[in-house]
Structure 1
Amino acid sequence: MSNPSQTPTYLPSYPPLRLALAMWALAAAAYMAGFFLRVTPGVLNVPLMRDFHLNAAQLGNLASFYFYFYAASQIPTGIANDRWGPKALIVFGTLLTGVGTLLFAAAPNYPLALAARGLIGLGHGVAWVSLLEISARWFAPRVFGTMSGLSLGAGTLGAVLAQAPLLAMSHWWGWRWTLAGVGVICVLLGLLAWGTIRNSPHQRGYRDYLPPRPPTSAREVLRGLRAVWGWRNTALLFVAPSGVCGAFLTFTTLWGAPFLEQHRGMSGSQASWMIAAMLVGFSAGGIAWGRLSDRLRRRKLPYVTGAMFALLGFAQLSLWPQAPGWVLWTVQLLSAVGSGAMVVGFAWAKESVPASLAGTATGVHNTGVMIGALVQLPLLGWVLDALWTGRAEAGVRLYGLHAFQAAFGVLMAWLVVSLVCVLLASESHARPLEAARPQPRLRAEA
C-alpha cells in the first residue's frame, strides 16, 4: 500500500460516482452482514435455548458476547484505521465475522458458541468506522452526511433481513445451515473486498478528497483518552446512550420477540415484523433528529425529546404490557423513533471538547452506546430467571408476564438515569468548543 503522505497532486480528476459507489457498496455489505448477525439471537431464541440447554441469563450472555468484543474494538480500530487504512480492516473484519459465524453454526456446546459470538462482535466492530472512512475518502465532503445516513440504512436493512426472512430460512433449512450460509457469504465478501477496495482514490489514478494525515500513535491515543474525560459532558454523554439506545438494542436484539410471542399472542413471524418496523423507525428517527438538531442548532432539546419518547415505550411495556394492539404498536414505534435521537450525541460529544480531542471523544461516545446493551442483555436474563415459576415447553423456559414487567422496569429505570444525564449536559449550540469560552471541566469543579 502506498504511503498517504506521497499522494500525487497532479492527478486529473476526482473518482467517478460509479467507482466510489462500488467501494462503498462492498464496505456497506460487510456492515449489513454484521448487523444481521447482531440481532439473530432474538429471532432464534427458541432453538438456541433448546439446542444449548440455556436459561434466560445464559441466552442474554450469549447475545451480549457480541457487544463485549464490539465495544472493546472501538479505540484500537481508530488506531489501526490511521495506520493501515479502511481496506485492511474491512477485509480482516469481514473474514473474521465469517469464521465466527461458521464456528457458531457448528458449535456443539455453549462455551464454543460464546467464543464464536465474540469473534463475530470483534469482526463487525471495525465495520462502522471503516465504512465512514471509505465514505469520507471516496465522496465529496458535501455529501458525507448523506452517505452516513445511507450507511446507517444499510445496517438497518441487515437487521430487518434478520427478522421474518431469517425466521423463514431457519424453518426451511434449520438455523445452523442458515447461519453457515451467512458465514460463507461473509468470507466471500472479505475476499471480494481484498481484490476490489482501495483505501484512497489516488490508488486508482484519481484525486483524493481528503488531505494526507499522519497516523496516530497508541501513546497519543492514551493521552487523548485521559484528557477527554476531564470535560464534564464526556461522562454525561457516555451514560446517556447506554439507556436511550441500549434499551432499544436490548429489546430488539433479544427480549422483544419472546415477550411478544408469549404474552401478546403474536406468531414468530408477526413479532419479527414488528421488531423490523421498530428498526426502520429507529433509523428514520436518527436521520430526522440529526437534521432537526442541525437546523435548530441545539443538541439538548432533540435529545431530551427523543429520550422521553423512548422512556414512554418502556414505561408502557412495564406498567401496561397488555395495552390494546394499536396502543402497543403506536407507542413502541414512537419509542423506536425516539431512541434514534442518540445520533445527536455523536456531534454533541465532539463539540464538548477541544477540536484536537474530537476523534477520541467520538470513540469514547461510541463505546458508551454499546455499554448499555452488553450489560442489559444478561441482566434482564438474570431478572427473568429469578422470577421464573418453573414453566417450560419442549425444553425451553417460559417466563410469566410479571417477570417481563420487572425486566422492562429495569430498562425504564435506566432510561430515567440517561434522561437526567442529558438534562445535566451543557448545550453546545452545534458549535465547536471555543478556547475563550469558560470550560466546564471536572477538575475545575472539584
Structure 2
Amino acid sequence: MEKQNSKYRWVVFVSILLTYLLIVSQRTAPGLISDQLMKDFNITASTIGLLTSIQFFAYAGLQIPIGILSDRFGPNFFLVIGALLTGIGTLIYSLATNELVLLFARLLVGTGDSAIWVNLVLILSQWFKVREFVGLLGIAGMAGSFGFLLATVPFSAWITRSGWRPPFFTSGIMVVLCGVLLYYVLVKKPKTFEWNDTIPKKQKKPREKTLILLRRIFSTRQAWATFFCHFGTVGTYVGFIGSWAVPYGMHVYGLSRSDASQLIMVGLFGAIIGAPLTSWISSRLDSIKRPYVIVHCIVFLCWASFLFMNGKPPVLMLTIIFFLIGYGNGASALTFAIVRKSFDIKEVGVVSGFANMGGFLSAVLLPSIFGKVLDHFHASASSVGYQYGFIIPVIFASLGLVGGLIIVEKRQEVLQSQVN
C-alpha cells in the first residue's frame, strides 16, 4: 500500500490540522492580555514587545536547523516534540509568577512552534500527491486562520469571565494531548502497515553535504524571493496582532477589549478567505507570481494608509484595512507552493524553513521595535506613538513586495514535478 493512495492519509491530515489550529491560537493569544501583564507584573511596553519577540526569535532562528534535521531524519518525531514543547510552555506561562518565567515560557512555546509548519509541509508532501498538496496547503492555511480566530472574541470572552490564567492553562493541556495523538497517528499506528517505497532504490541519490546544500540554496534567487514574501506578509500581520493590535484599538479608539478583538477578527476572516481563494485564483491563472504580487501591493498600501491618516483612519476604513492585511496573511500559503514547485522534494524542508524564517524574523523585530517607539514617545495610550510605529510594517511590507517581484515562474517544471 502506498501512502499517497491510502485512506489513512486523511486521518494524518485531520490530526495535523487540529494540532496546528490549537498551536496557532497560542501564537497571538498573549496579545489579548498585554495591558494586563503590564499591570500585574509592573512591566513596560518594551518588555511586552520582548515577550513576543523572544517567542518568534526562537521560531525564526530554528527554522533552518529544523528543516535540515527533518529532511534528513523525517518530520514525524519533530512534529510530536514540537507539539509537546508548545503545550508545556503554555502551561508554564499560565502559572508564571514574574517576567522571567513569562520569558522562559514564551521561549519554550517558540521552540516547539518552530517545528510545526515545516514538518506539516513535509508530511503533506509525503502523504499527498502534488496536485492534492497545493489545495490542501490552502486548507492548512485556513485552519491556521481559524486558530487565530479562536484567539480573538472567544478567548477574549473567556479571559474576561475567568481571568487570563485558566484559559492558557486549559489550552496548554489540550496541546499536550494533541502531541500524544500525533505520536499515535504518525509514529505508532503506521508501524502496523506495510508501505511500498514510492522512490525506487536506483533513483535514490546520496545526500548532499549540509554546508554545500545551504550554500547552494542561499545563492538562489527563488529562495530569497520566498524569504522576502513571507517577511512582508506574515511577519507584519502576526507581529502586530500578537502584541499591539488589541492595545491599539483600546487606547486609540477607546474600544473595550472585546470590541478590539472583534476588529482583529475581521482580519482573520480575511485570512480564512485568503488561503483557499488565492490558491484557486493562482490555479486558474496558471501563475503564482501575478496574484501574489497584487496581494503584496495591497498589503503595502494598507500599512501605508496608517501613516497617511496620522495613525487613526476612520473606523470603517480601519475594518477594511484589517480585512485586507488578513487576506494577505492567508494568501502567504502561496510561498510554500512556490517552494514545492521550485525545489526537489529532498530540499523542501530546508527551503520551507528558510522561507518561514523570513516571516517570523519580521515578527521578531516588529513588536520589539514598535514597543520601543511607544516608550520613546510615552504615548502608548495615544495615536502619536502608534503613528510613528506604523513606519515599521510599511518598510517590512515593501520588502515583501520586492520578494514577489523577483519570483521566477517555472510553469513547465510543475508538470515535471507532478510526474515525479
Bucket of the pairwise TM-score, normalised by the shorter protein: 0.7 to 0.9
In the TM superposition, 1:90-129 aligns within 5 A as 90-129=79-118
Confirm or deny: 8 A CA contact 1:200 1:208 kept in the other structure: no
Residue 335 of structure 2 is matched in structure 1 by 345
C-alpha distance in 1 between matches for 2:103 and 2:299: 30
Residue 34 of structure 1 is matched in structure 2 by 23
* CA deviation string 1:106-135 (max 9, x = no partner): 121112211110111111211123323333
Residue 70 of structure 2 is matched in structure 1 by 81
Pairwise CA distance, 1:61: 1.1
C-alpha distance in 2 between matches for 1:58 and 1:102: 20
Aligned pairs, how many? 412
Residue 351 of structure 2 is matched in structure 1 by 361
- One of 321, 344, 367 as aligned partner of 1:331: 321
- Larger mean CA deviation between 326-335 and 58-67 belongs to 326-335
C-alpha distance in 2 between matches for 1:20 and 1:417: 37
- One of 400, 411, 420 as aligned partner of 2:382: 400
C-alpha distance in 2 between matches for 1:418 and 1:20: 34
TM-score by length of 2: 0.87
* CA deviation string 1:269-296 (max 9, x = no partner): 1221221221231232133223323332
- One of 116, 121, 124 as aligned partner of 1:135: 124
Confirm or deny: 8 A CA contact 2:139 2:276 kept in the other structure: no
Residue 263 of structure 2 is matched in structure 1 by 274
- One of 261, 283, 295 as aligned partner of 1:294: 283
Residue 33 of structure 2 is matched in structure 1 by 44
Gaps of 5+ in 2: 416-420
- One of 355, 378, 398 as aligned partner of 1:388: 378
Pairwise CA distance, 1:422: 3.2
Gaps of 5+ in 1: 1-10, 390-397, 435-446
| Partner secondary structure for residue 254 of structure 1 | coil
Pairwise CA distance, 1:139: 4.1
C-alpha distance in 2 between matches for 1:387 and 1:159: 30
- Larger mean CA deviation between 104-113 and 322-331 belongs to 322-331
| Partner secondary structure for residue 112 of structure 2 | helix
Confirm or deny: 8 A CA contact 1:317 1:408 kept in the other structure: yes
* CA deviation string 1:189-229 (max 9, x = no partner): 2223323433885x332545844787996x72322111122
Confirm or deny: 8 A CA contact 1:241 1:368 kept in the other structure: yes
Q: Does 1:427 align with 2:408?
A: yes
* CA deviation string 1:227-286 (max 9, x = no partner): 122223433442333123221112221211111121223221122122122123123213
Change over 3 Å in CA distance of 1:337–1:216 after alignment to 2: farther
| Partner secondary structure for residue 187 of structure 2 | coil
Confirm or deny: 8 A CA contact 1:85 1:199 kept in the other structure: no
Pairwise CA distance, 1:84: 4.3
Residue 219 of structure 2 is matched in structure 1 by 230
- One of 201, 205, 227 as aligned partner of 2:193: 205
| Partner secondary structure for residue 298 of structure 2 | helix
Confirm or deny: 8 A CA contact 1:79 1:215 kept in the other structure: no
Residue 410 of structure 1 is matched in structure 2 by 392
**RMSD over aligned Cα atoms:** 3.0
Confirm or deny: 8 A CA contact 1:81 1:89 kept in the other structure: yes
Read off the aligned partner of 2:153 and give its amino acid letter.
Answer: A
Pairwise CA distance, 1:141: 4.7
Residue 418 of structure 2 is matched in structure 1 by none
TM-score by length of 1: 0.83
* CA deviation string 1:312-358 (max 9, x = no partner): 22122222243332222123212322344433333445666788755
Residue 257 of structure 1 is matched in structure 2 by 246
Pairwise CA distance, 1:82: 3.8
| Partner secondary structure for residue 332 of structure 2 | helix
Residue 5 of structure 1 is matched in structure 2 by none
- RCO (CA 8 Å, sep 6+): is it higher in 1 or 2? 2
C-alpha distance in 2 between matches for 1:419 and 1:408: 17
- Larger mean CA deviation between 141-150 and 403-412 belongs to 141-150
Read off the aligned partner of 1:253 and give its amino acid letter.
Answer: G
* CA deviation string 1:353-384 (max 9, x = no partner): 78875554333212112111111110111111
Whose helix fraction is larger, Structure 1's or Structure 2's? 2
* CA deviation string 1:52-96 (max 9, x = no partner): 222211111101211111112222323333454333223211211
Question: Larger Cα Rg: Structure 1 or Structure 2?
Answer: 1
Change over 3 Å in CA distance of 1:208–1:51 after alignment to 2: farther
